[in-house]
Amino acid sequence: MNRSHGHRAPSGRVAYVSGRYLPHAQAGVHIEDRGLQFADAVYEVCAVLDGRLTDEPGHTERLERSLGALNMPMPMSPAALALVMREMVRRNRLKNGMLYLQVTRGAYRRDHAMQANPKLSVIMTARAIDIDAIGKRRSEGVAVIALPDLRWKRCDIKTTGLLANAMAKTEARKRGAFEAWLIDSDGMVTEGSSSNAWIVTGDGVLVTRNLSSTILAGVTRAGVLAALKSGAGTGVEERPFSIAEAVAAKEAFMTSASGGVLPVVSIDGREIGNGKPGPMTQKAHALYSKLDQSSTAP
């Protein structure tokens, strides 16, 4: 067998599973982990830009809220979690990418009833993102389609039970769109399959759905709201809106950790405004990027 000396092969992706850093391809959980069996798990996605974790405190706080809603404790202190997240960024040599964190109730004999004192599984993975592709979407805008919201009634909990979201996203891609905006039984937009939805009215007011159990409290959504409210002369309303109102709007956009602020230029094939990213969307992106008050260096 030929062995090379003095040269190390470049390291590949690294995952974290319950205290161990492992090669990504070798990482795994027990076959009876409740995250696999019941989607009895929550997750967070944190963007890494220029080697910095973006909106980290917001993601940590939302993780704790989601865990609490399912009667699960934090798997470690926020300080310890921050150290592991930074180590994942370092080990994966991540400059621009996404850090995924999942916490499951752990591995037990299959039983629908939830364990009172769970032995949590903690999983982290990281991957690079194509900054140029995101920049192109931001400069050209994206298309969305409207679909019925088939998700469960606690969308405020960021669980790994994403089958309805995945079905909606897949249908959007089949129809040549980037995202699906989900419509409730009253005909109002809740949010996207993996994003929060926004419009700009004819009067220049920004509108996004108010927080409730029907939508996820997006961390990027919160950052954009804070940024917009700090910008002089920017009116913001948190309320439901319909697809008809969105089609008649001056502009529309979506927010997410993976894409930041992305313009929406058509819904179900109908152009929004002039069919191009508008000035208010660009302002929202600029203000949010400038605010960036939660980004932390690893």
Tell me the backbone φ, ψ of residue 280, rounded to 5 degrees.
-70, -35
Residue 232's pLDDT is what? 60
Average pLDDT of the chain is 93
Cα–Cα dist 117/73, whole Å: 9
pLDDT tens track for 16-49: 999 999 999 999 999 999 999 999 999 999 999 9
CATH fold group of domain 134-291: D-amino Acid Aminotransferase; Chain A, domain 2 (3.20.10)
Which element (helix H / strand E) includes 43? strand 41-49
Residue 297's pLDDT is what? 44
CATH number of 14-129: 3.30.470.10
Domain ranges of the chain: 14-129, 134-291
Cα–Cα dist 108/50, whole Å: 40
Residue positions annotated with a catalytic role: 158
Cα–Cα dist 66/71, whole Å: 9
pLDDT tens track for 113-171: 999 889 999 999 999 999 999 999 999 999 999 999 999 999 999 999 999 999 999 99
pLDDT tens track for 37-83: 999 999 999 999 999 999 999 999 999 999 999 999 999 999 999 99
pTM: 0.92
